[in-house]
Amino acid sequence: FYMDTHPKKEVVKKKNLITVGFAQVGAESDWRTANSISIKKTFSESKGYDLLFEDARQMQDNQIKSIRKFIQQDVDYIVLAPVIEEGFETVLEEASRAKIPVIVIDRKVSVPDNNLYTTWIGSDFYLQGKKACECLNKYIIQKGMKDVNIVNIQGTLGSTSQIGRSNALNEACDKYGWNLVAQEPGDYTQAKSKEVMKNILKKTKDIDFVYCENDNEAFGAIEAIKEAGLSVGENGGIKIISFDATKGGLKRTLSGEILFDVECNPLQGPEVENVIKMLEEGKTPNKEYYVKEQVFVHDSILTDVLVDGNKYDLLTVTDDYIS
Ligand code: GZL
C-alpha cells in the first residue's frame, strides 16, 4: 500500500489564534480611545486572539481599504466601527463572498440587506438624545425659563450617533418651542468645536444652552465661551448638555459647567467576544445588542426623567465617579 510520505499540509492558523481584524473610526475623542482600549484588552494574544487594529483617521476610504486587507489576510472575523452609515455595501458584499463574518459596533451601517453583517452592538443614540432633551425640558420648566436659545454642535454628519442625537433635539425644539439659533458639525473633536463655537459667538452671545454631541465638543465649546469672556454653568452662564460621560465630562458635570452628560458606553469588547464565542460554537447570535448606559447630572438638579413612557433615574456626579 502507498505510504503517505508527505504529511497533509495543514493550514495552521497563526499559533492557533483566532484572527480578528478591527476597522476603528479613529482617535477623535476620549470615548473612542476608551472604545479602542476595550477591544484591545478583550482580544489579547493571552486570551487566544490575534488582533489586527486599523485606525481610519475618521475617513471612510481608509476603513474600506482596511476591510479589503483583512479579506486578503483571510482573518476569521471582521469588526467594523463605521464612521458613517452609508457606503459600506460593496465591501461588506466582498467580505460576505469571502465567508468572513462581520460584527458592526457602535454606529450603524445602512445597507439594503442586513445579512451583510452578522450582528450589531451599540447604543440607542436617538434615545440618548431624547433623554437629554427631556432633562433639558424639565430643567427649563423648573427654572421658569422663557424664549430659550439653544446652539447645537453636531457630531460627524451622517454617523448614527449624530443622526440620533440631532433628530431628538430638532423634534424637542419643535415640540417645546425652543429657538435653535445655530446648528453646525463639530466632528466630535475639541479643536473643531472650539472653532465652531467661536464663530457662533461672533454672531450672537444670547445663548442659554449649547447641546454638544460628545464631551470633546463640550470641552471645545467651553474653551470658546470662556475666551469670549462669558461664563459657563448655572447663575447666568451658558449651560452645556453633553454625551459620552467620559472622565473629563464627569469632572465638568461635577463642577457644573456641564448640566447633564448622557452616558454612551464604549466598553463593547466583552459583548463582541460573546458573539465571536457563539459563532465559534456554531450558535447564532442576536442581530442586535444594546449596551447599558445612564444619565449623569450636576448637583441633583433632577432625579429622574420620563422618555416614551419609561422612567430613567439620573445619577448625580460625586467625587468617587472621578477618582
Ligand atoms: C458614540 C460614538 C461617538 C461618541 C463620540 O457611540 O459613535 O463617536 O459619542 C465618538 O465621542 O467620536
Domain locations along the chain: 2-121+266-290, 125-264+294-322
Pick the CATH number of 2-121+266-290 from 3.10.20.600, 3.30.70.520, 3.40.50.2300, 3.30.200.20: 3.40.50.2300
> Residue 104: beta bridge partners?
80, 120
pLDDT at 10 over 50: no
The average pLDDT across 278-294 equals 96
Report the mean per-residue pLDDT for the chain: 94
pLDDT tens, residue by residue, 29-55: 999 999 999 999 999 999 999 999 999
Residue from 195, 172, 314, 165 nearest 253 by CA: 314
Ligand 1, from 84, 157, 214: best to mutate by most atoms within 8 Å of Cβ? 214
Q: Indicate the burial class of 140 (C-beta count within 10 angstroms; 0-12, 13-18, 19 or more).
A: middle
Query: What is 125-264+294-322's CATH number?
Result: 3.40.50.2300
Q: How confident is the model at residue 14 (pLDDT cuts 50, 70, 90)?
A: low
Residues whose CB is less than 8 angstroms from the CB of residue 277 and which lie 6 or more positions away in sequence, other chains included: none
Q: Which helix (H) or strand (E) holds 128?
A: helix 125-142
Which of 244, 247, 250, 263 has the most ligand 1 atoms within 8 A of CB, as the residue to mutate?
A: 244
- What's the pLDDT score for residue 241? 98
Q: What ipTM was estimated for this complex?
A: 0.95
Two domains, one topology: 2-121+266-290 and 125-264+294-322: yes
Q: What pLDDT score was predicted for residue 9? A: 41
How many H-runs (helices) and E-runs (strands) does the chain carry?
Answer: 10, 15
- The pTM of this model reads 0.92
List, chain by chain if needed, residues with CB within 6 Å of any ligand 1 atom: 28-29, 31-32, 106-107, 123, 159, 161, 188, 214, 243-244, 264
List residues bridging with 281 in a β-sheet.
none
Q: What is the pLDDT of residue 323?
A: 72
Which atom of ligand 1 has the smallest separation from the CA of 159? 7
Q: Distance (Å, rounded) from C-alpha 243 to C-alpha 228?
A: 24
Report residue 209 as a C-alpha cell.
Answer: 444652552
Res. 292 pLDDT band, cuts 50 70 90? confident
State the DSSP code for 114: G
Residue-wise pLDDT for 223-260, tens only, equals 999 999 999 999 889 999 999 999 999 999 999 999 99
How confident is the model over 122-161, as pLDDT tens digits?
999 999 999 999 999 999 999 999 999 999 999 999 999 9
Cα Rg of the chain (Å, integer): 22
DSSP assigned state of 246: -
121, 80 in Cβ contact below 8 A? Answer: no
- Determine the distance separating the centroid of ligand 1 and the alpha carbon of 97, expressed in angstroms: 30
pLDDT over 70 percentage in the chain: 96
Q: How far apart are the first and last CA of the chain?
A: 73
Q: Are 214 and 188 in contact (CB under 8 A)?
A: yes
Contacts of 10 (CB under 8 A, 6+ apart): none
> What is the Å distance from ligand 1's center to 128 Cα?
12
What integer pLDDT is reported at residue 5 of this predicted model? 55
- Give the pLDDT confidence score for residue 216 in this predicted structure: 98
The pLDDT of residue 13 is: 55
Percent of the chain surpassing pLDDT 90:
91
Crossing angle of helices 89-97 and 60-72, in 10° steps, is 10
What number of other Cβ atoms are within 10 A of residue 27's Cβ? 15
Separation of CA 214 and ligand 1 centre (Å):
7
What distance in Å separates the CA atoms of residue 81 and residue 96, rounded to the nearest whole number? 17
Distance CA 125, CA 155 (A): 12
